[in-house]
Structures are given as C-alpha cells and as structure tokens.
C-alpha cells in the first residue's frame, strides 16, 4: 500500500507539446534533478492531455503555448480547467514576449516560461513555488535550539 507521504515524494508533471523532441529535451535538462523526484509524462495534444488528466493525478502541467487545432493558451487552458484540473499550469513557449502573455492570469495560467529557460534549477524553483510536496528535513530550519 502506498501511503500519502511516499506518494507525495514524487512530483507528477504532464508535459503537453505537439513536438516530441521538446519532451526529450526537457527530460535531458531535468535528468540531474534529484530533489524532489519528478516523473514526467508526455501528451502530444490537448485531447490526449484531457484523457490523461481524467485518469490520473498530476501535480503540475507544462503546456506548450500553441497546440493545433487550438490557437494558443487562451483556448487550451480553459479546456483543462473545464474538466476540473485545479493544479498549477505553466505555459511554455519559444517566445513569451507577446503582449497577450500579459493576460495569462485571466485564463487560469499560473506562470509562463521560455523553453530555453527550463532546466533542473528552474523546474525545482517552479515546484517549490507552485506545487505542495513534503519538504526534505535538511531544508527545514531547526527551531528546537
């Protein structure tokens, strides 16, 4: 039997991008991430992502800005929220400088990040900021002294 504590030691991330090579690149970039343990699943489309979310729990979704046939996150994120996903969603894009990215909170997006900015340290920061999980004891301050 898996306890809540042991289950929470692994952060489950769903990476949604229509280019599999982007998923492979992400896996290589975060291979050095040791704490917390991260399990990344891949979805090539918003439809596939919706099915996976219905079947499993994910702690974080990293979503490519443009997924065909949808225009951008302004269409895809409401679909994810519409099926009841309440966890953090980060929009990932090659270029996050477009003015419409300023509207991301209005569509249920928690953060945006450039594809070139994602690495082990960035993902660790995102998890600390947006995902609740058991903090290792050596990170906790000792107030018993």
**How do residues 70-112 score in pLDDT, each as one tens digit?**
778 888 999 999 999 999 999 998 877 777 677 777 778 999 9
- pLDDT tier for residue 140 given thresholds of 50, 70 and 90: very low
Please report whether residue 76 resides in a domain: yes
70 vs 48: CA distance, rounded Å: 14
Please report whether residue 14 resides in a domain: yes
Number of structural domains in the chain: 1
31 vs 123: CA distance, rounded Å: 11
Please report whether residue 73 resides in a domain: yes
CATH of the domain at 32: 3.40.50.2300
* Residue predicted with more confidence, 11 or 140: 11
The answer to whether 84 and 36 have CB atoms below 8 angstroms apart is: no
Please report whether residue 135 resides in a domain: no
Predicted structure pTM score? 0.81
Please report whether residue 86 resides in a domain: yes
For 91, the domain range is: 10-130
| Confidence (pLDDT) at 136 | 53
Mean per-residue pLDDT over the chain, rounded: 82
115 vs 118: CA distance, rounded Å: 6
């Amino acid at each position: 039997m898996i306890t809540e504590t042991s289950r929470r030691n692994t952060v489950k991330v769903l990476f949604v991008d229509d280019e599999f090579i982007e998923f492979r690149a992400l896996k290589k970039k975060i291979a050095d991430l040791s704490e917390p343990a991260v399990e990344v699943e891949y979805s090539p489309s918003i439809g596939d992502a919706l099915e996976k979310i219905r079947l499993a729990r994910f702690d974080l979704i990293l979503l490519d800005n443009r997924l065909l046939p949808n225009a951008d996150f302004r269409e895809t994120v409401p679909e994810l929220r519409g099926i009841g996903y309440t966890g953090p969603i980060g929009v990932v894009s090659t270029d996050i400088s477009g003015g419409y990215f300023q509207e991301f909170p209005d569509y249920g997006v928690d953060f945006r990040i450039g594809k070139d900015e994602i690495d082990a340290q960035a993902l660790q920061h995102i998890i600390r900021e947006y995902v609740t999980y058991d903090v290792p004891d050596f990170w906790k301050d000792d107030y018993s002294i």
